[in-house]
Each structure stands twice: as structure tokens, then as C-alpha cells.
Chains A and B, each alone.
Chain A
Amino acid sequence: MSKKEQDLQEVVEQAIAQQKVPHVKIKGIDPHSIDIARLTKPSKETRQERWGKGLTALAILLIGILIVSIIGFVGSHGLATFFTDKVNIFHFLFSTDWNPSAGPNHVGAAAMIVTSFAVTLLAALIATPFAIAVALFMTEYESGKKANLLQSVMELLVGIPSVVYGFLGLTVVVPAVRTVFGGTGFGILTATLILFVMVLPTITSLTVDAFKAVPKELRKSSAALGATQWQTIYHVVLRAARARIMTAIIFGMARAFGEALAVQMAIGNAVLMPYNLVSPAATLTSQLTSQMGNTVMGTLPNNALWSLALLLLIMSLVFNFLVHLIGKKS
């Protein structure tokens, strides 16, 4: 028995000796046979805790490895374009000449970058006012059945697979745009309209959360100062929810930026600098989905696609960073 355990034994015996209520006997505890070894060993709960922590750490480690390998894989292939195939990075970012099979001087992604940003910004721009209006209706004006109905509709819209949106767009929006604006019907406008419907529920539900997070007391204080409901909404609720609404918009933009299938079905897939909203174009994602089956691993055209993927990855990091930044500032 070690010194520490002996000490413990002494303390326990002393405690038993000092026990002033001898008639109290707790079942299962025999005062003369204290098992010091058992007391000093980790309990079942402690072992469970260690197990739990170990499992969690393992899971985190696995996910970490996964993330690192994804970034590493996309990064190494995406960067091979520049290091192995010697494509100039400025050429990649600013040239509109996209024909990678013709050699490293024809890997300009500017047309796709511009188109990606155009559809994203336009979709967010159109969706935001609608999202705010719907969210206001759901939180400030109606809170009962009608709000719940709208909520369900929004959830339904989120749940529809993007290929269905794309199919609908192809069947309904493309001919409509063709009839109204001429051209082929494919292009930024069509893609924007489809993305608008797709990001609306995202932005709306996050905006609803933003409004719900504004304390009731602020609304009451505003009313008590003689403000009408609209004044309260405009000056207090919108202002208090500003940062969260920004976050909602960025999440919506991230979704729009990354959407591939529906956009690919509606944008026309011509890697050209768009000269108007109804000319066929291509986004980073649509080019990836439509071309990935047509290239051979390790060749320049394949690496060039990986560069597009890398760009998408970086953009999603940027969106996350923005959300973080806004969260910190408020």
C-alpha cells in the first residue's frame, strides 16, 4: 500500500471512529472493510467520460483529416494549372479566352467569374426585399396561422431538389424570357430568376430569425414614444436586425454562388463574357458540371477545371469569413 493510500486509510478510519450515530447503518457499507484500492481507482463514470472524450476527439480528428485532404486535393490540382502548366494567374483571372485544350494561353476564367458574381448579386438583390417583406409579415403583422402557412411554404421551397428548379426553369422561364426579351431565353436573367426562388427561403427564414431576436421591449419602448408600427419597424426593428439580415443575405449569396445544376440548365453554357442579361453565358459551377466528364485527369483542361473548383472553395471561405466578421462587429 502506498503512502498516499495509507493516509487515505487513516482518514477513513478516523472518520468512522468519530461517527457519532452508531445506530445508523447504511446498507452495503461495512465500516471495517474500506476498499482503498477501489476508491483510488477511476470510477465507471470517469472511464465513461474518458471513452466519450476519446470518441469525440477521434471523430474530430477524422473530420479534420477529411477537410485537410479535400482542401489539399482541390488545392494541389487547382494550383497545378499555374505551377505545372505555367498558366499566368492574372491571365486566369482577367482574360476571357477560355479554351484550355488549346494550351496555357487560353485559360482565362474572367467570363465565368463575372457571370457567377452577376447571377449571385442579382439574385440576392431581387430576393432581399421580398425576403424582408415576407419576414416582416410573418413576425410583425401576422403571427398565427398565416405565418405558419408561409413558414411551411418556405420550408417546402428549401426542400425541392435543385434539378427540379432547373427543369421548371428550362420549361417555363426560358420560353418566357425568350418571348419577352428575345434571344435564346438562356442567360443571366433566366438563371437569376431561378436562383431568386431558390435563395428566397434561405434569406427569408434567417431574416425571420433576425426579427425574432429583436427584444419585444424595444418595440414596446418605441410604441410608448408615440411611434406607429411602421415607424417602429423601420427605425428600430430593421436597424436592430441589420447585422443578422446582412448575414442572411450572405448565406443566400453563398447558396446562389455554389448552385450548379439549376444554373447549368438555364444559363446557356457558353463561356462568353455576357454582354447583356439574355445572352448565353456560363458560371464557374455550370462549367464544372458540364465539363467534368470531358477531360482527362492530369491534363491541362482537367487542371483548369480544378482551378475553377479552387476558386469556388476560396469564395465559400470568403463568404464564411464575412459572416464571421459581421457577427464579431455586432
Chain B
Amino acid sequence: MTNIMEAQNVKLSYGKFEALHGISLNFPEKQLTALIGPSGCGKSTFLRCLNRMNDDIDNINITGKILLEGKDIYRAKLDLVALRKKVGMVFQQPTPFPFPVYDNVAYGLRVAGVKDKQLIDQRVEESLKQAAIWDETKDNLQRNAQEFSGGQQQRICIARALAVRPEVVLLDEPTSALDPISSAEIEETLMGLKKKYTFIMVTHNLQQASRVSDQVAFLMDGELIESGPTEQMFLAPKKEITSNYLNGRFG
């Protein structure tokens, strides 16, 4: 199994405050890695490092290496636009643009300069199908995406991220703003897509992590405490603190 991304000793400070103290973690291809840990431990911060969404924060300092297909994404002449086409992202709150579903999903392709209408049509349909939202949108692709329900909006956002055919999709608590039924639908969607894409998902829902992930990484206070295959992490964690967290003794 190859690693599509590798984080090597990633340290990050917001001004004087060091939020990540050197995280090394491998992300196997076509698997779903769940990042878990108490609030404020740095999960989102770490996730944002992986597509360089932290770059425009003032006074930020990032060291270490993050390799995507063997090449450091923090190297000098990296093309941010190209990186983000390879590493997509879905946010906690659904963030559909205030225009039709079709234009939302086509957005990534269009900003990349794709003009071929047929290709865009085909990608939009494929992506909406992959995100399991095609049936609900196929008859109103021209409807404003913000008029759909929260769960539908989030799946439209997933479709939008998939439309550029990324290698990796980052998800930051994608279901925490949704009701249980919509969350379950998103989980199912992710399960179905795991064979095609690599997912890295922050969640603080441990059951969710156990249901959908292949690998779990446990972070605490900016430190990677332990990582491993999901089953092993939940059944036989190596460290006591991991076991305590997974058993709900704190967090």
C-alpha cells in the first residue's frame, strides 16, 4: 500500500503559540483516515496544512515537510492552484455558492479553464452521482444551491470538491452541523467513495470514526499520540491515554 501523502515532523505556530509540535503521519492511498482528539488539539490546523489553507493567516510559521506523491507541497515554486486541484476540501458548515447547483459543481473545472461543455456536463453528473445527490438535483440543476437542505448542501459541496477529480479530499467535521439522518447519508456517501479517493477527515464523533475510517490518528495538545488501523485503535490501543479517550473518560 502506497502513501499518497506523508507529513514529516510538521510544526506550526500561530505567532508565539505553537499549535502543532511535530506531527509525522502517513496517509495511505484510497483509504479514509480519521483525525480525532479533544477540541482545540490542532486537528483542523493540521488538516489545513495539507492543502496550505493556513498560508494566508498572519504570523504563521510552518516547518517540516508534507509530501504529496513524494514531493513537498511547501517547496518554493509550488503552484497553489495546482495543489488545491489535487487536494480538495469540504468544510464543517456547508458552503454552497449562491448560484445554481450546476454552476457550483462546475466551478472548479471552470476556474481551471475547462471550456468543453460536454466534459463539464459529464463531470457534473458523475460527481453529483458519486456524492449521492444526483436523484435530488437532476431535475433542478438550475436551482440555487443554497435553497437545498443542509445535508443536501453538504453533499453538493462534496460533489463540487470531487468534480476536479482530486487525489485527496480533506473533510473538517463534515457532518457536525447536520442532523443525524443527513450525517448518516454523508457517511454512506463516503463509504461508497473510498475506493476512488483518499479521504482525510476530522471528526469528534468517535462512532463515526469507527464506522467509516480505515485508519485513525489520535491527536492531543498538538501532538500525535497514536495512529493505526481503525480496528486496532479501537480494540487494542497501544497507549493508555488513547484508550481513555476512546472510552469517553475525557474529551
Contact = CB atoms under 8 A, between A and B. Distances in A.
Contacts of A220: 53, 91, 95
Nearest to A243: B98
A224 B160 CA distance: 11
B111 A231 contact: yes
Interface string A194-218: 0000000000000000000001011
Interface string B142-174: 000000000000000100110010000000000
Contact of B81 (A218, A226, A240): A226
B95 A226 contact: no
Given A225-B161, A226-B82, A218 B111 contact: no
B97 interface: yes
A221 B170 CA distance: 12
Interface centre among B93, B111, B161, B164 (most CB of A within 10 A): B111
Contacts of B82: 226
Interface centre among A218, A225, A235 (most CB of B within 10 A): A225
Contacts of A222: 97, 107, 111
B93 A217 contact: yes
Contacts of A221: 89, 91, 95, 97, 157, 160
A215 B93 CA distance: 11
Given A221-B157, A222-B107, A228-B81, A239 B95 contact: no
A18 to B, nearest CB: 43
Interface residues of A, number: 17
A228 to B, nearest CB: 6
Identify the interface centre among A217, A221, A228: most chain B CB within 10 Å of its CB. Answer: A221
A224 B88 contact: yes
Interface-central residue, A220, A223, A224, A235, by most chain B CB under 10 Å: A224
A326 interface: no
Contacts of B99: 239
A236 interface: yes
Contacts of B108: 225-227
Interface in B58-113: 81-82, 84-85, 88-89, 91, 93, 95, 97-99, 107-108, 110-112
B51 interface: yes
B165 to A, nearest CB: 12
Contacts of B95: 215, 217-218, 220-221
Given A239-B99, A240-B98, A224 B111 contact: no
Interface string B194-216: 00000000000000000000000
Which of B88, B98, B99, B157 has the largest number of chain A CB atoms within 10 A?
B98
Given A220-B53, A221-B91, A227 B98 contact: no
A226 B112 contact: yes
A235 B160 CA distance: 15
A227 B110 CA distance: 9
Nearest to B56: A223
Contacts of A239: 97-99
Interface of A: 215, 217-218, 220-228, 231, 235-236, 239-240
8 interchain residue pairs of minimum CB distance: A224-B89, A225-B108, A226-B84, A227-B111, A221-B95, A226-B85, A217-B95, A226-B81
